[in-house]
Amino acid sequence: MPTFYIFGITKDDGDLSDPDAAIDKYYYFSSTNGNRYWDHRQNVVNKIKAGLVRAFTYKNGKIGALCVIRKSVYGTEYLKTMPNNDPTDNLSSLPEM
């Protein structure tokens, strides 16, 4: 299965109670060809929901935490990282582009 390695984000003015829900664009490398891309939150969520790709954080040149789909109290679907042994390995800590 192709994998997206997310290395950057752009935030909107969304739900500030969860910083990951405020992300509206993801910047990533694709495992299929190594090219860099960006896409809107819902497009990436839809690809993961359909089982077309997996996504991981990619911080400081290292593959990090697995990203899963969550839904905010307002019904917005977004990516959230699964806890791993690095508490700083999360989407909201990635550089803003």
Banded pLDDT at 16 (limits 50, 70, 90): low
Largest Cα separation within the chain, whole Å, is: 36
pLDDT value for 70: 94
| pTM > 0.85: yes or no | yes
Residue 80 CA, distance from chain mean position? 7
Nearest residue to 77 (alpha-carbon basis) of 69, 66, 85: 69
pLDDT value for 15: 58
Whether the pLDDT of residue 13 is over 80: the answer is: no
Compute the half-sphere exposure of residue 68: CA atoms within 13 Å on the CB side of its CA. 5
User: 86 vs 68, which has greater pLDDT?
Assistant: 68
pLDDT value for 66: 96
The tens digit of pLDDT for each residue in 39-65 reads: 999 999 999 999 999 999 999 889 999
Nearest residue to 79 (alpha-carbon basis) of 28, 32, 42, 31: 42
pLDDT value for 26: 97
